[in-house]
Amino acid sequence: MKTLKKQNAIFKIGKILAIIPGNRAQKTYSVIYFTVLTISVSLTYIYRKPFYLKFNLLKLLIKIAIDVTCYGFNFYTTVIVTCYKGRAWKLLLQNLGKFEDKKSNFSVVLFAITNLVFWALTVFTGWVWLTVIGVEYSRQYIFDVVQLYPLIYYNYLIVVFLKKIQDGLNSLKVSLNRNFESIEPKIWILRASIEHFNQIFAWPILFIIMYSYLRVLIYIDLTFRHGIKNLKLVAVIDNICIILLFVGGVVAMIIKCDNVRCELQEIARVLYTSSSTSPRIKILFYLVQDFPQISAARFFIIGRATIFKILSSICSFCIVLSQFSLK
């Protein structure tokens, strides 16, 4: 009961941030919140313009891509999710609530750790860049915190929901050893859960991966342009910590997606090799085989191979930059 109350408190924070679906009043609040956010962010971009004009073309394109990705994420979570994904959100919570949470404190502890790291890093970043840029930093980047915290919050939600889906699949796998007839309702519930999960989180997954990837690129570009010896140590430490925060979240998210896929494969294997002669077993096997896959807005399927692809593209970027630096 205490854990449930804590989870509800976590969702209330999401509603304050206007990124969790709710009633009509919540939808109105989300639209107003996003409008105010848009105006505020637009002002910061006006202050950043003189600095952006000093960037080379490559860095400028990456910075614009980062800003567009971050804004797109906030638009989707604040407007699309809260206004149009309420039913999917409600059904997802109902479905996953039918399965026992093996580690009831997991979501609460993870939330506490995530917030502690994020806010500690935010304070450190503010201190570092106030010493480097001065008061101008606060005018240019003060609203970045408002944009970035929802991204961290959603990364947390994705990991937690994926764990709950994985727990449901584990429960289903245990049931396979007892009674095949009792698993069909669970299969349909989990299938619907993954569908609802994709409806809500497919685009946020894409935005989170893109944002983290672009942050890595901008730091690599900074290192190649200025050389790590010419950068202040605190600035280097700050950039590395930011990269570790976002990349760590992405890796955790991808691994959880892959765990869900592996659980489904294991369940399908057990059904396929079952000695039962019931015709329902074959139907259940094909049903599990036809489960929806977790994707990044249907652009690509999320799995461990995604990590390798991201690393490959980063290496390619480094090679290109090194070629330019030699000229």
Q: Please determine, for residue 3, whether its predicted confidence score (pLDDT) is greater than 60.
A: no
Under DSSP, the state recorded for 228 is G
| Over residues 146-151, mean pLDDT | 90
Most confident segment among 104-113, 160-169, 181-190, 212-221: 160-169
Indicate the pLDDT class of residue 324, thresholds 50, 70 and 90. Answer: low
Angstrom CA distances, 211 to 176, 214, 274, 309, 323, stand at: 40, 5, 44, 15, 25
Q: Which candidate, 2, 150, 187, 172, places its Cα nearest to that of 76?
A: 150
The pair of structure tokens assigned to 105 is: 């404190």
| Over residues 182-194, mean pLDDT | 87
| pLDDT at 113 (0 to 100) | 92
Give the Cα separation of 324 and 319 in Å (integer). 9
Strand partners, 295: 301
Q: Please determine, for residue 155, whether its predicted confidence score (pLDDT) is greater than 80.
A: yes
Instruction: Annotate 261-274 with b (16+ C-beta within 10 A) or e (fewer).
Output: bebbeebbebbeee
Q: Please determine, for residue 326, whether its predicted confidence score (pLDDT) is greater than 60.
A: no
Q: Please determine, for residue 2, whether its predicted confidence score (pLDDT) is greater than 50.
A: no
Q: Please determine, for residue 197, whether its predicted confidence score (pLDDT) is greater than 80.
A: yes
Give the Cα separation of 305 and 298 in Å (integer). 16
Give pTM, 2 decimals. 0.90
The pair of structure tokens assigned to 134 is: 């001065």
Under DSSP, the state recorded for 301 is B
Longest dimension (CA), the chain: 74
Residue with tokens 């570009």: 221
Give the Cα separation of 57 and 17 in Å (integer). 34
Give the Cα separation of 44 and 145 in Å (integer). 12
CB-based burial label for 100 (10 Å; 0-12, 13-18, 19+): exposed
| pLDDT at 289 (0 to 100) | 86
Angstrom CA distances, 136 to 48, 49, 55, 318, 320, stand at: 9, 12, 17, 31, 33
Indicate the pLDDT class of residue 1, thresholds 50, 70 and 90. Answer: very low
Strand partners, 301: 295
Residue with tokens 């690599």: 220
Q: pLDDT higher for 72 or 230?
A: 72
| pLDDT at 105 (0 to 100) | 67
Q: Please determine, for residue 87, whether its predicted confidence score (pLDDT) is greater than 90.
A: yes
Phi-psi region of 220 (alpha: psi -120 to 50; beta: other; left: phi over 0): alpha
| pLDDT at 19 (0 to 100) | 92
Evaluate whether 152 touches 114 at the Cβ level (below 8 Å).
yes
